[in-house]
Amino acid sequence: MAIDSFIPSSDAGRKRPTRPFGRLSALLFLAGTMLASGCIVHATPVRMPAAPTVIRGPAPGPGYIWVKGFHTWRNSRYVWKRGRWIAPHRGKRWVRGRYVWVRRGRVKVRRWIRGHWKTTRVIVRPGPITIMTRPLPVRPKVRVPVRPGPRYVWVKGYYSWKNGRYAWTRGRWVRRITGKRWIAGRYVWVRKGNIKFRRWVPGHWKRTGSTLVVRPPLTPTIVLRRLPARPRVVRPRRPGLRHAWIRGHHVWRGGRYVWVRGQWRRPITGKRWIPGHYRITRRGNFRIKVWVRGHWR
């Protein structure tokens, strides 16, 4: 059976239209399907050729470092770079270069990472130190001079370390300070470098533990001043319903009590009046009653 028998009579003599982008769409669809399925194009590693035989020349000077040659990738091939001598850097050390794998398009090549100078940390480990102990020499025989007075204290002589040796300092008499006592000096061990010697800590005056109480020759007589009788007071007319009466009181003025009249005080919203009171206090050789004023609270 022919295929044209299925075509209608009206389209039998007409050519079917062609699709110019059909093949391109199919190729793009196929490539997308491969990428979606996880197809990865791997790079091919390129082996590095063997290093040529190099004859080093003599070093230009002491301390020079030889930097070996290396291969570098240029124009799709390896190119050899010759080694050289480099001058040393003070306080730094040379870190050698190395190869790393790098991808260049569809190939993997070895790339050379150049060496560099790095600052060194110098750790100085001290060796064993011999400590030399300098003992005190024999104390010289000293004749104590005559005491200047009964209130003088003798401060004994001592050795002090000066210019790498002991030097003797003579004793002396010092005048006593009232209310203090003399603390004698002492030796302590001190190290300077590899020498250990005795250092003198000088004495000093210190306050005594007992408290010096100075009593007056005569004890004053404390006299109690009593309050006089309250006078009869006629309150004035109240200015308002909420006004508070502040009662009168005595105050101490000029060695006697003085009466202060009472008064009406205007109230403060949200507060109440705390009345005043007396308290006993001392003024010289008198004990009096002092008025503590009232306040709003």
So where are the chain's domains? Answer: 63-119, 132-207, 223-296
pLDDT at 6: 42
pLDDT at 222: 67
For the segment 75-112, what is each residue's pLDDT rounded down to a tens digit? 888 899 888 999 988 888 889 889 888 888 788 888 88
pLDDT at 26: 64
Element at 285 (helix H, strand E): none
Model confidence at 249, pLDDT cuts 50, 70, 90, reads confident
* Statement: residue 119 has pLDDT above 50: yes
- Closest to 193 measured CA to CA, from 162, 164, 167, 168: 164
Model confidence at 1, pLDDT cuts 50, 70, 90, reads very low
pLDDT at 74: 86
Question: How many angstroms separate the CA atoms of 220 and 113, rounded?
Answer: 101
If one compares 31 and 237, the residue with the highest pLDDT of the two is 237
Model confidence at 42, pLDDT cuts 50, 70, 90, reads low
Neighbours of 70 (CB within 10 A): 22
pLDDT at 158: 92
Handedness of CA 239, 244, 245, 246 (dihedral sign): negative
Among 40-49, 77-86, 176-185, where is mean pLDDT lowest?
40-49
Question: How many angstroms separate the CA atoms of 175 and 152, rounded?
Answer: 4
- Closest to 145 measured CA to CA, from 123, 174, 104: 174
Q: For all residues of the chain together, what is the average pLDDT?
A: 80
Q: Are 272 and 263 in contact (CB under 8 A)?
A: no
* Statement: residue 16 has pLDDT above 60: no
If one compares 16 and 286, the residue with the highest pLDDT of the two is 286
* Statement: residue 139 has pLDDT above 70: yes
- pTM here is 0.31
For the segment 201-240, what is each residue's pLDDT rounded down to a tens digit? 998 888 876 555 556 555 566 667 788 888 888 888 888 8
**DSSP output for 45-102:** E-PPPPPPP--PPPPSSTT-EEE--EEEEETTEEEEE--EEE---TTEEEEPPEEEEE
% of the chain residues with pLDDT over 90: 6
Mean local confidence (pLDDT), 258-276:
85
* Statement: residue 11 has pLDDT above 60: no
Model confidence at 5, pLDDT cuts 50, 70, 90, reads very low
Among 36-50, 98-112, 146-160, 170-184, where is mean pLDDT lowest?
36-50
Handedness of CA 288, 289, 295, 297 (dihedral sign): positive
